[in-house]
Amino acid sequence: MNPIVKLFFCLSALALMAAPALRAQREKLPAEDLEFVEKNWPEAKKTTTGIRYIILREGQGDMPKPGDRISVLYVGRLLNGTVFDQNQDRENPFTFRIRREMVIEGWDQVLQLMKRGEKRLVIIPPELAYGTRGQPPKIPRRATLVFEIELLDFKKD
């Protein structure tokens, strides 16, 4: 066989073997997480930074801006369904200022895309959550996180 043809076949085989890993890197999720997400939430839309989301209930009006005080209800889960944190208390919602390094980067990004009253299922890749360090003991290293977030209200402070 011609050496150039052999080289072509070898390079083609390498490209095929590397394709799933390259796709996962491009998608911002670990390969096994990407497969799980696509199987369980195929309708999820994706932001340019790799956050996936499904609008569960439409909101109305404006979207919050950096510095606004946000009030939300949420449930945070690992991909296996384990709840690691939540606040579902409408009388005492979780409140913070957006873009003030008070929450994970994925939250800051996705909440600026939501309207008052909107509820979303949000899938956040590790690098926009707790990355390689995790948040032991509840959140392992390199964990993809799944949240149901309801934006109750926001206002300028």
**Digit-coded pLDDT (tens) for 60-86:** 999 999 999 999 999 999 999 999 999
Residue 43 within a domain: yes
What CATH number is attached to the domain comprising 65? 3.10.50.40
For 41, the token pair is 């939430």
Residue 13 within a domain: no
Q: How many domains are contained in the chain?
A: 1
Residue 80 within a domain: yes
The candidate with the shortest Cα–Cα distance to 147, out of 85, 90, 91, is 85
Query: Which range of residues forms the domain containing residue 95?
Result: 29-155
CA distances from 63 to 17, 72, 90, 126, 157 (A): 43, 13, 20, 25, 15
Residue 134 within a domain: yes
More confidently predicted of 25 and 40: 40
Residue 110 within a domain: yes
The candidate with the shortest Cα–Cα distance to 154, out of 106, 116, 123, 105, is 116
For 143, the token pair is 């964990």
pTM for this predicted structure: 0.81
